Structure 1
Amino acid sequence: MIAGIGIDIVDLARFNRAVSRTPRLSERLFVAAERERPLPSLAARFAAKEALIKALGGSEGVHWHDVEVVADAEGDPGFRTHGALTDLLAARGITRLHLSMTHDAGVACAFVVAERDAP
């Protein structure tokens, strides 16, 4: 059963300016493994985190490092959750998160579906 959906889009040039202007921004938004990625991939990961927040209807008490965008064995994107986010998902009965990301033509986009088991 779908519990929420979220989508976000990031302008790559604007994201690049923000990261360049504020060097510690990447450290605040991404865990170390994520920061190794090229800028378009970072922008897509930021969009993924924003889309997740939208799918959940908010993020009170959750920090950027509580969610990490990872790839599974087949290379498909997904989330690894930590701390307050793991607790929030459990409290809301969210059992699965689905993620799709892309970047092209100067933008990065992500779409998230949050699911819970049917009652």
Structure 2
Amino acid sequence: MIIGIGVDVCQIDRYAAAEQRRPGFSARWLTPAEVALPLSSRAARFAAKEALAKALLSEGGLRWHDAEVTKDDHGRPSFLISGTVAARAAELGVDRVHLSISHDAGIAAAYVICERLDS
């Protein structure tokens, strides 16, 4: 059963401008491993976290270092969740989080589906 769906898009140049205007902007939203990535990947991870908040039906209170976008050996992205994000997922009965991210033509996009596996 689908618990929530979230989508977000981020203009990469707008994200870059936010980083320049506000020192520490990326460090506020992204983990150290994510901050070390290229600009387009940072923007995609920002979009992924926004999409995750929507899929978790969040009204705030989530710490974004509690959701890290990682990739497996084949390059498929997924979330490593802990703390406040894991607690919200458990509260909703989420068993699986699906993530798709992409960046092209100056736009980063992310799509998240939170699912409960019914037995």
Runs (4+) off by over 4 Å: none
| Aligned residues between the structures | 119
Cross-structure match for 1:55:
55
Task: Compute the displacement of 1:52 (Å).
Answer: 0.5
Cross-structure match for 1:34:
34
Superposed, 1:1-119 pairs within 5 Å as 1-118=1-118
Task: Compute the displacement of 1:78 (Å).
Answer: 0.3
SS at match of 2:34: helix
Q: Percent identity?
A: 47
Q: CA RMSD in A?
A: 1.1
Task: Compute the displacement of 1:111 (Å).
Answer: 0.4
Return 5+ residue gaps in structure 1 as ranges: none
SS at match of 1:19: helix
Deviations 1:16-43 (CA, angstroms, capped at 9, x unpaired): 0001111111110111111110000000
Task: Compute the displacement of 1:59 (Å).
Answer: 4.6
What is the TM-score when the length of structure 1 is the normalising length?
Answer: 0.95
